[in-house]
Chain A
């Protein structure tokens, strides 16, 4: 009898907790909308798997281990949801003013870039802050590659490289201010840095740095304002939000294709053999063939899609 009662209580308390529609698929893209706060899960063919709507305005997140951690620039806590169950797992107390996040698989740590103190804060998987590293003014875009964490300081002229074990800044790259968007071309050991441009001057080029020397090795034209990247098999995909364009560059950094993106794209991602881009102004997500960027489908998704998170199948 006691066991039965316990089961009933657990069931009741379980039901009372807010939970969203679970995502059964192992492979999906999750698109975060900020004007109508929510997450929309789609598969590579553009079918909607689940739609979550939030009361709070989350401006970013990071996907890892079948969970998604969401933060807001104005919020002082981050929430962890299970994508498999749709349930809220935890709420982490974090500094307010978070502008970016990255999951470091080797150390199972989450790094938050915080604009207020110009530092990157490291949290363990329990949600406890472990380290804090000063980088520059307004750290924002972050990317982890081979035990290094690369951070663009948005209102600064340096890109910081942090060793994920020591949490120390190993190197600094000279970059233009208002840079945004990072990609690594592993084969060529290159770091691609996008940007909005400076002041009223819209940026039109991607700056390519050597991961070995840390110096600028090339620039790639991708007008106007390339700020989001995705990479697969040496091909780099770029969303230029100023001209509503998507570009793909082959491993030789040559433009392989360019196509109209959804209006004001802030994100691009690769899921399977599909390239996905979301238009902030149009509220749509478009699906393209990889390498050729042939448009396959456009899906309405909600106001202000801003980020795309990819969960690749096993």
Chain B
């Protein structure tokens, strides 16, 4: 059963219960109020009639008067003075049904009126009755008995039942029609979302749901759309990545293929050709290594073997490697800085950053390297005065295969993965990578790592 049907069924049951309860309550109230009002009227009439009783034995005139009242009013009324009917013989056993019982007689002797509702054997029907005592001193001289058959009330009620039933049917129809509309309104967004999810699962990443309302369904729809956006973006990134990787691999491969064919065919200078083939192989190797590393970092499969490292040593060693390519470094290194990290990876971070700095700097321009500790962090800053980049490029620089100057790709030999790797490694060390740059003014790369704080500091 669908949620919509369940909702509708629940509503249907509630409507039936509500209408039934309202019906029952109305009936009860009506009967109670009506019966109460009839009782009050009966009691008043009995009281008025009894005012004419002046004591002594009940005379015929009084009895006639009560009979006259009975004829003229809507109540049945009569006066009784026969002691046999008034249970006067109790405690002698009576051989017939008396009009009142011993308890009633006792109550009447205390000048208390009796009100009763229910079946009367004497009249063989349901009645509302009032018995009013006619007392002379302590003698029960007679009673005034007034009653109304209950059937009359039921007849009144039954005429109303038709109205009630019609009202109930109309109300139920309205409620159910409204309920149907409401159920549709509630289940529509769910239906949309289900359809969109099916499309998503089949690879249609453009699938979205309308999210107009501000209620929970609207919120859910918006969340769903955000999720769909994320999936779509991820899919695009995956496609771009594959395309880029293919492209990046094809370039060196085409070199290798072309020059090796030339060599085989004895065209050109074999040494130069082999040199190019060798260079491109190295580039491919580096590219593949970088890719592998990035994928392992991405998937969290790369283990960090952290030890205590004096960062100054690492800086000196890396700088030394680059002195062949660039010999103008200015170092401001705090030799006391120690971090807890994976030496190999941090070395790679330094290498990749310096590689970029060297690559984009002119040979005679200095590269500034600073290593310092500020409270509980270590700042590791590499600043060059090279080409720099426009500010809007900065957020993209750590993306995979991103190059600012696409034309320089083939010559400078970078894979376009360096800063992506740096970012990943720094983040795995609970650190932060900050890149500041301006076109033509150089670039400053700051790596912030948590410092190892000596005891007592």
Given A263-B140, A281-B139, A281-B140, does the pair A196, B92 have CB atoms closer than 8 Å?
Answer: yes
Assess whether A263 is in contact with B139, with CB atoms less than 8 Å apart. Answer: yes
Assess whether B91 is in contact with A202, with CB atoms less than 8 Å apart. Answer: no
Provide the main secondary structure of the chain A interface. loop
Q: Does A63 contact B (CB under 8 A)?
A: no
Q: Which of A177, A225, A263 contacts B95 (CB 8 A)?
A: A177
Most buried by A among B57, B83, B85, B105: B83
Q: Does B276 contact A (CB under 8 A)?
A: no
Smallest Cβ-Cβ distance to A57: which chain B residue? B91
Please give the distance in Å from A152's CB to the nearest CB on chain B: 11
A136-169 contacts to B (CB < 8 Å): 138, 154-155
Please give the distance in Å from B406's CB to the nearest CB on chain A: 120
Smallest Cβ-Cβ distance to B96: which chain A residue? A199
A-chain residues with CB within 8 Å of residue B170 when the two chains form the complex: none
A235-287 contacts to B (CB < 8 Å): 241-244, 262-264, 279, 281-282, 284
Chain A: how many interface residues by the 8 Å CB criterion? 31
B-chain residues with CB within 8 Å of residue A200 when the two chains form the complex: 82, 84-85, 96
Assess whether A180 is in contact with B92, with CB atoms less than 8 Å apart. Answer: yes
A-B contacts at CB below 8 angstroms, number: 64
Assess whether B95 is in contact with A199, with CB atoms less than 8 Å apart. Answer: yes
B414-436 contacts to A (CB < 8 Å): none
Assess whether B137 is in contact with A263, with CB atoms less than 8 Å apart. Answer: yes
Q: Does B45 contact A (CB under 8 A)?
A: no
Smallest Cβ-Cβ distance to A240: which chain B residue? B83
Q: How far is the CA of A179 from the CA of B224 in the complex (A)?
A: 99
A-chain residues with CB within 8 Å of residue B105 when the two chains form the complex: 281
Please give the distance in Å from B47's CB to the nearest CB on chain A: 22
Given A196-B84, A196-B89, A225-B83, does the pair A244, B96 have CB atoms closer than 8 Å?
Answer: no
Given A200-B96, A264-B139, A281-B139, does the pair A34, B91 have CB atoms closer than 8 Å?
Answer: yes
Q: Does B88 contact A (CB under 8 A)?
A: yes
Q: How far is the CA of A137 from the CA of B48 in the complex (A)?
A: 46
B-chain residues with CB within 8 Å of residue A178 when the two chains form the complex: 95
Assess whether B83 is in contact with A202, with CB atoms less than 8 Å apart. Answer: yes
Given A154-B93, A178-B95, does the pair A242, B84 have CB atoms closer than 8 Å?
Answer: yes
Please give the distance in Å from B285's CB to the nearest CB on chain A: 119
Q: Does B269 contact A (CB under 8 A)?
A: no
Q: Does B109 contact A (CB under 8 A)?
A: yes
Q: How far is the CA of A263 from the CA of B83 in the complex (A)?
A: 12
Please give the distance in Å from B183's CB to the nearest CB on chain A: 69
B68-122 contacts to A (CB < 8 Å): 82-85, 88-89, 91-93, 95-96, 105, 109
Q: Does B411 contact A (CB under 8 A)?
A: no
Most buried by B among A34, A155, A199: A199
Smallest Cβ-Cβ distance to A241: which chain B residue? B88
Smallest Cβ-Cβ distance to A284: which chain B residue? B138
Q: Which of B82, B92, B109, B139 contacts A202 (CB 8 A)?
A: B82
Q: Does A197 contact B (CB under 8 A)?
A: yes
Q: Which of B83, B93, B137, B139 contacts A224 (CB 8 A)?
A: B83
Q: How far is the CA of A17 from the CA of B92 in the complex (A)?
A: 34
Q: Which of B85, B89, B139 contacts A244 (CB 8 A)?
A: B139
Please give the distance in Å from A272's CB to the nearest CB on chain B: 27
Most buried by B among A155, A200, A262: A200
Q: Does A65 contact B (CB under 8 A)?
A: no
Assess whether A282 is in contact with B84, with CB atoms less than 8 Å apart. Answer: no
Assess whether A243 is in contact with B138, with CB atoms less than 8 Å apart. Answer: no
Chain B window 123-146, contacts with chain A (Cβ cutoff 8 Å), 1 for yes, 0 for no: 000000000000001111000000
Assess whether A241 is in contact with B91, with CB atoms less than 8 Å apart. Answer: no
B-chain residues with CB within 8 Å of residue A282 when the two chains form the complex: 137-139
Q: Does A306 contact B (CB under 8 A)?
A: yes
Smallest Cβ-Cβ distance to A99: which chain B residue? B93
Q: Which of A155, A180, A198, A264 contacts B88 (CB 8 A)?
A: A264
Q: Does A314 contact B (CB under 8 A)?
A: no
Assess whether A306 is in contact with B91, with CB atoms less than 8 Å apart. Answer: yes
A-chain residues with CB within 8 Å of residue B88 when the two chains form the complex: 225, 241-242, 264
Chain A window 58-96, contacts with chain B (Cβ cutoff 8 Å), 1 for yes, 0 for no: 010000000000000000000000000000000000000
B interface residue numbers (CB < 8 A to A): 57, 82-85, 88-89, 91-93, 95-96, 105, 109, 137-140
A interface residue numbers (CB < 8 A to B): 34, 59, 138, 154-155, 177-178, 180, 196-202, 224-225, 227, 241-244, 262-264, 279, 281-282, 284, 304, 306
Pull 6 A–B residue pairs with CB atoms less than 8 Å apart, ordered by A: A198-B95, A199-B95, A199-B96, A202-B84, A225-B84, A264-B88
